[in-house]
Amino acid sequence: MITLHRLGHVLEAFQLNSELILTIEATPDTVITLTNGHKVVVAETPERVAEEVRTQRIAVLAGAMQLRSELRAAGHPVRKRASLLPDRPEGAEVTPLPLSSVDQGA
Does residue 41 have a pLDDT over 90?
yes
Q: According to the model, what pLDDT value does residue 21 have?
A: 97
| Strands of the 39-42 sheet, one edge to the other | 12-16, 2-6, 39-42, 30-34, 21-26
For 49-87, the pLDDT digits (tens) are: 999 999 999 999 999 999 989 988 998 877 776 666 666
Q: According to the model, what pLDDT value does residue 99 have?
A: 72
* Cross-strand pairs, 2: 16
Domain annotation for the chain: domains and CATH numbers: 2-73 (2.40.50)
Entry pTM: 0.67
Find the largest Cα–Cα distance for the chain. Answer: 73
CB atoms under 10 Å from CB of 21, counted, come to 17
Distance (Å) of CA 32 to CA 49, 71, 74, 85, 89:
9, 38, 43, 40, 52
